[in-house]
């Protein structure tokens, strides 16, 4: 929830508020949920400690958990213990391969595919991918290159951003090399803000696209021209968009009641992801009787079909993986490939219910990294 490279406090705060709201409505069949949280701070050894804590405390599932530094070892610990991960933010191949993971997004790889597809629809076929300089970034080209090629485009640059640098103009310059006309920005909030500031100063003649989930309306306003010119994508609607998604009113009400300092303008869609994880857990488990166990939760999610998701995303069938074509060799349990196109006009964000990308649509039938 905290850390230098990728702090995600709203995942934790939103999860806590969502569970308090559910418990106030009676929990599940009259039984409250008890939340155990462990802040790994983005540190690999602490992530392992957190995973072991979940095992020792006999949690029946994790909700909306994220590991950015040591995903493989954490995945092994939780999978060996038979703990299902509901709404896990998948970043690495071991997570995509695990059958105990149930994600209603496509994780990092398919977030990137949504960003790239948005650029291609704009007319950009030579693309730079801008990534944090992390443990898995150096290998991601093995996955991304053949997918983007199959979509009719080409990645001409991979730009790895070091969080310790103070000069982001160098990364803007690198992204424009080799004839690139579009930048796919897949950075954490702090790095993306710095990149945005450099783009605003330099005004490069290149398109850019990125995810909007980590930004509040207040933050978007501060980003100025970067925000209004960007192509934005998101797995879920923005938290202010009650006009197109009436189910967002319940999310706002729960956050307002149980998250300290919450306002719509200061919150991000990460709270929505946490709320959806709790909502999905409730919808799947409300038909169960007896004391839940990790095994019973696992079985329930494997069997669940067309789980209503408050109209915020398509009904979810967590036990029915989407066809990943040539990538089925490692993509085992992604069941929602749909990502939204979002626009920001300088004041409000709007998520079109009809403008969705199927991030699996361009996958090659045969995958040869």
Kindly report, residue by residue over 314-326, the tens digit of the pLDDT: 999 999 999 888 8
- Is residue 17 domain-resident? yes
**Phi, psi angles (nearest 5°) of residue 261:** 75, 10
- Is residue 153 domain-resident? yes
Do 30 and 93 belong together in one domain?
A: yes
Q: Would you say residue 98 has pLDDT above 90?
A: yes
Residue 133: per-residue pLDDT:
85
R_g over Cα of the chain: 20
- Is residue 114 domain-resident? yes
- Is residue 240 domain-resident? no
| DSSP, res 249 | H
- Is residue 364 domain-resident? no
pLDDT band at 164 (very low <50, low <70, confident <90, very high): confident
As for how many domains the chain has, the answer is 2
Residue 102: per-residue pLDDT:
96
Do 213 and 130 belong together in one domain?
A: yes
Stretch 143-155: mean pLDDT: 92
| Domain span including residue 198 | 108-234+342-358
Residue 3: per-residue pLDDT:
74
Q: Would you say residue 367 has pLDDT above 90?
A: no
pLDDT band at 91 (very low <50, low <70, confident <90, very high): confident
Higher pLDDT, 359 or 165: 359
CATH (domain of 126): 3.40.50.2300
Do 114 and 215 belong together in one domain?
A: yes
Do 327 and 193 belong together in one domain?
A: no
Would you state the torsion angle of the CA atoms of residues 279, 85, 136, 129, taken in this order, to the nearest 10 degrees? -20
- Is residue 307 domain-resident? yes
Do 161 and 87 belong together in one domain?
A: no
Kindly report, residue by residue over 215-265, the tens digit of the pLDDT: 999 999 999 999 999 999 999 999 999 999 999 999 999 999 999 999 999
Do 118 and 145 belong together in one domain?
A: yes
**Phi, psi angles (nearest 5°) of residue 150:** -70, -20
Residue 5: per-residue pLDDT:
60
Element (H, E) at 127: strand 126-132
Among candidate residues 277, 272, 274, the one with its CA nearest the CA of residue 86: 277
Do 137 and 92 belong together in one domain?
A: no
Do 191 and 227 belong together in one domain?
A: yes
Tell me the percentage of the chain whose pLDDT exceeds 70.
Answer: 98
Do 112 and 213 belong together in one domain?
A: yes
Do 155 and 77 belong together in one domain?
A: no
- Is residue 363 domain-resident? no
Q: Would you say residue 136 has pLDDT above 90?
A: no
Do 261 and 285 belong together in one domain?
A: yes
**Chain mean pLDDT for the chain:** 92
Do 134 and 226 belong together in one domain?
A: yes
Instruction: Please enumerate, as own/partner, the contacts of 48-52 that have beta carbons within 8 Å and a separation of 24 or more.
Output: 48/73, 48/74, 48/77, 50/74, 51/77, 51/78, 52/77
- Is residue 3 domain-resident? no
Higher pLDDT, 125 or 143: 125
Q: Would you say residue 4 has pLDDT above 70?
A: no
């Amino acid at each position: 929830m905290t850390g230098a490279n990728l702090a995600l406090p709203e995942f934790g705060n939103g999860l806590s508020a969502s569970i308090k709201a559910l418990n106030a409505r009676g929990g599940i069949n009259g039984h409250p949920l008890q939340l155990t949280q462990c802040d790994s701070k983005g540190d690999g050894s602490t992530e392992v400690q957190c995973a072991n804590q979940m095992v020792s405390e006999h949690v029946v599932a994790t909700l909306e958990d994220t590991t950015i530094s040591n995903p493989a070892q954490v995945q092994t610990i939780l999978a060996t213990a038979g703990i299902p991960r509901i709404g896990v933010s998948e970043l690495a191949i071991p997570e995509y391969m695990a059958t105990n993971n149930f994600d209603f997004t496509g994780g990092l790889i398919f977030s990137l595919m949504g960003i790239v597809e948005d650029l291609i629809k704009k007319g950009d076929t030579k693309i730079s991918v801008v990534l944090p300089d992390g443990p898995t970034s150096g290998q991601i080209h093995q996955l991304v290159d053949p997918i983007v090629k199959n979509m009719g485009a080409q990645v001409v640059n991979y730009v790895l951003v070091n969080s310790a640098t103070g000069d982001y103009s160098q990364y803007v310059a690198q992204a424009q090399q080799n004839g690139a006309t579009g930048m796919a920005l897949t950075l954490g909030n702090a790095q993306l803000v710095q990149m945005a500031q450099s783009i605003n100063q330099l005004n490069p003649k290149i398109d850019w696209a990125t995810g909007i989930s980590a930004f509040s309306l207040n933050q978007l306003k501060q980003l100025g021209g970067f925000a209004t010119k960007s192509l934005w994508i998101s797995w879920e609607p923005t938290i202010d968009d009650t006009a197109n998604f009436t189910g967002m009113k319940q999310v706002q009400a729960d956050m307002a009641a149980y998250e300290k300092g919450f306002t719509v303008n200061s919150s991000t869609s990460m709270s929505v992801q946490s709320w959806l994880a709790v909502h999905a857990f409730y919808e799947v488990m409300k038909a169960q009787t007896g004391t839940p166990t990790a095994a019973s939760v696992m079985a329930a999610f494997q069997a669940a079909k067309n789980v209503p998701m408050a109209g915020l995303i398509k009904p979810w069938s967590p036990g029915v993986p989407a066809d990943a074509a040539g990538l089925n060799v490692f993509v085992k349990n992604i069941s929602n490939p749909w990502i939204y196109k979002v626009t920001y006009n300088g004041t409000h964000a709007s998520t079109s219910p009809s403008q969705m990308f199927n991030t699996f649509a361009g996958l090659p039938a045969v995958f040869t990294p």
